[in-house]
């Protein structure tokens, strides 16, 4: 069936660099000695550890449970002993440390008792969501939003179109491509489970037209069903959620809205495969496909990697050369970030490890003034005005950048890529975004401090009046009440005086 497709504004054509890593079948990465599991691998609140140093854990056992609604649990990717819980370097652009659980593997790779759930079609959507939540599944496309939330359209909202995103538009990355080629039936089965939970009317699998192998495999797996497998033109960033929705449906997601507001839900192909494993076999999310590539890697390829494997183990497995390593990125060259070192672990959202030599990456060219050419606005897939955003972010005018819809920016990097003056535009937007969030936090803290301060003043005032009231009451009691109402005290004193007098006289008379 030929489907009508739409176009989004801008985008760029990039050198793909995909063949290098997509020419070998995927194999399992060897079991690492140490697994480092950060408690925060998703959007939302950190998970909370339920094991401590010295505990023995089995493969698939929950080691940290979800805390709060937007959160996901973490499971042990292999059996072994917890040797440490504490702050360790995690993959994050800040290079800071965060709470982690470290497991020393025992090599047995012994599974815990897995709970299967039988025929999913007889399960209630909420029960399905619960299984997916307990399996720790988050969006594997990059953002890491807990998936069970995106399986709940919410009251009164119907899902018209369910999109499975296999576009994978960023250069170098091929893990979704390989997953579709090798595990298409799993993905389609996962898609049907997601569809069952969402009661979606229509299902579309979108694949870029530079992945004919994946397209053929998915078509074969979806044959005989009403699932549409669609090829979309190769242009970056067609895999962005809002861009893909525009391409497939012609509809635009409103600025501050979510796809569900226009009846669309989007999931990644990797997520669908993980959902299938969780529902069919009770397996939690403990491994994923990952691309290890770049000019520094001798045999670029995809590996099935346990979450928590140190990056260095993967680089060793694929043959790297530390001497010529220029930059080590997690994610792709457009949206990835530089890793602080090779000792950090991979996490649920890691799709690619990119080890570049100096020859791979762009030589650093001097940043020059903006010449107002407008190339960035032509390239922006969200129809923003990158130039205006840049001026105001540069001037640190945080109100103005928000007026220009800074928070609709998806940080795809198209504007920086086309900028003839080499201005690091996205860096400015990231700076402005985090600065606005910091200001917001400060404001909330100041408000809380103000309330506490005012409450304290009130309390001191209240205590003062209470004390004064008590004081006057006591005083009144003392003055109003007669000191010795019945006169017994007086009488006793008189009697004592008389006794003393008598005694004195007695002594006198004896003399």
Partner 1 sequence: MFVAIIALGALAAAFGLILGYAAIRFKVEGDPLAEKINAILPQTQCGQCGYPGCRPYAEAIARGEADINQCPPGGEAGVVKLADLLGRDPKPLSAEHGQVKPKMVAVIDESICIGCTLCIQACPVDAILGAAKQMHTIIAKECTGCELCVAPCPVNCIEMVPLKPDIAHWTWTFPDEQPQPPALKGAQG
In whole angstroms, the minimum distance from the beta carbon of 168 to partner 1 comes to 16
Q: Closer to partner 1 at the Cβ: 110 or 361?
A: 361
- Least Å distance between CB 171 and partner 1? 6
Looking at the Cβ atoms of 32 and 38, the one nearer to partner 1 is 38
In the chain, % helix, strand, coil (3-state, to 5) comes to 40, 20, 40
Which residue, among 341, 339, 365, 343, has the nearest Cα to 352 in the 3D structure?
339
Q: Which residues pair with 353 in a beta bridge?
A: 292, 330
Contact criterion met (CB below 8 Å) for 50 and 85: no
Closest C-alpha to 284, from 145, 150, 136: 136
Q: Helix 125-134 crosses helix 175-198 at what angle (to 10 degrees)?
A: 140
Cβ closer to partner 1: 179 or 330? Answer: 330
Smaller CB separation from partner 1, 15 or 224: 15
Minimum distance, C-beta of residue 443 to partner 1, in the bound complex (Å) = 9
Smallest distance, partner 1 to C-beta of residue 96, A: 5
Nearer to partner 1 (CB atom), residue 32 or residue 294: 294
Contacts of 500 (CB under 8 A, 6+ apart): none
CA dist 238 → 7, 52, 75, 205 (Å): 9, 44, 33, 13
Kindly state the helix (H) or strand (E) to which residue 355 belongs, with its residue range. Answer: strand 352-357
Smaller CB distance to partner 1: residue 117 or 327?
Answer: 327
Between 46 and 79, whose beta carbon lies closer to partner 1?
46
**CB neighbour burial string for 469-496, b if at least 16 within 10 angstroms, e if fewer:** eeeeeeeeeeeeeeeeeeeeeeeeeeee
Rounded to a whole number of angstroms, the minimum distance from the CB of residue 329 to partner 1 is 6
Q: How far is the CB of 376 from partner 1 (least distance, A)?
A: 12
- Return residues touching partner 1 (CB under 8 A): 14-15, 40, 90, 92-94, 96, 98, 171, 327, 329, 333-334, 336, 354, 356, 359-365, 367, 396, 413, 416-420, 422, 424, 427-428, 430-431, 433-435, 437-438, 441-442, 445-450, 452-457
Smallest gap from residue 380 Cβ to partner 1 (A) = 16
Q: What angle do CA 25, 27, 30 make, to 5 degrees?
A: 160
Measured between alpha carbons, how far is 43 from 67 in angstroms, rounded to an integer?
A: 12
């Amino acid at each position: 069936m030929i489907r009508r497709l739409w176009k989004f504004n801008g985008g760029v054509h990039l050198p793909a660099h995909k063949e290098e890593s997509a020419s070998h079948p995927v194999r399992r990465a060897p079991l690492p000695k140490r697994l480092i599991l950060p408690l925060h691998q998703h959007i939302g609140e950190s998970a909370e550890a339920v094991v401590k140093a010295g505990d023995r854990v089995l493969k698939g056992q929950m080691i940290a449970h979800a805390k709060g609604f937007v959160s996901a649990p973490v499971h042990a990717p292999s059996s072994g002993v917890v040797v440490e819980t504490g702050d360790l370097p995690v993959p994050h652009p800040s290079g800071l440390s965060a709470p982690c659980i470290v497991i020393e593997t025992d090599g047995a790779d012994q599974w815990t008792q897995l709970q299967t759930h039988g025929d999913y079609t007889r399960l209630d959507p909420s029960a399905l969501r619960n299984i997916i939540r307990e399996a720790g599944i988050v969006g594997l496309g990059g953002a890491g939003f807990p998936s069970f939330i995106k399986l709940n359209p919410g009251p009164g909202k119907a899902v018209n179109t369910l999109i499975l995103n296999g576009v994978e538009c960023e250069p170098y990355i091929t893990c979704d491509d390989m997953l579709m080629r090798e595990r298409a039936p799993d993905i389609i089965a996962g898609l049907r489970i997601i569809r069952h939970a969402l009661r979606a009317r229509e299902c579309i699998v979108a694949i870029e037209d530079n992945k004919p192998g994946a397209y053929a495999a998915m078509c074969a797996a979806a044959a005989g069903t009403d699932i549409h497998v669609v090829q979309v033109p190769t242009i970056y960033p067609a895999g962005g959620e809002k861009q893909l929705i525009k391409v497939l449906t012609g509809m635009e997601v409103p600025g501050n809205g979510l796809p569900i507001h226009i009846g669309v839900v989007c999931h990644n192909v990797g997520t669908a495969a993980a959902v299938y494993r969780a529902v069919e076999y009770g397996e939690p999310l403990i491994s994923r496909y990952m691309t290890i590539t770049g000019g520094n890697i001798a045999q670029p390829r995809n590996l099935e990697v346990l979450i928590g494997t140190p990056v260095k183990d993967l680089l060793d497995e694929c043959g790297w050369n530390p001497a010529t390593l220029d930059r080590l990125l997690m994610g792709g060259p457009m949206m990835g970030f530089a890793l602080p070192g090779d000792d950090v672990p991979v996490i649920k959202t890691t799709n690619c490890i990119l080890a570049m030599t100096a020859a791979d990456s762009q030589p650093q060219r001097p940043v020059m003034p903006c010449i107002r050419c407008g190339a960035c606005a032509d390239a922006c897939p969200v129809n923003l005005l990158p130039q205006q955003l840049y001026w105001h972010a540069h001037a640190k005018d945080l109100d103005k950048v928000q007026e220009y819809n800074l928070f609709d920016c998806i940080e795809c990097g198209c504007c920086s890529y086309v900028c003839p003056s080499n201005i690091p535009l996205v860096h400015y937007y990231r700076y402005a975004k985090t600065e606005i969030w910091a200001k917001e936090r400060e404001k909330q803290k100041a408000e809380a401090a103000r309330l506490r301060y005012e409450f304290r003043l009130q309390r001191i005032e209240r205590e003062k009046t209470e004390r004064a009231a008590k004081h006057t009451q006591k005083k009144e009691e003392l003055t109003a009440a007669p000191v010795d109402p019945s006169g017994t005290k007086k009488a006793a004193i008189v009697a004592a005086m008389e006794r003393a007098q008598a005694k004195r006289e007695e002594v006198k008379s004896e003399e």
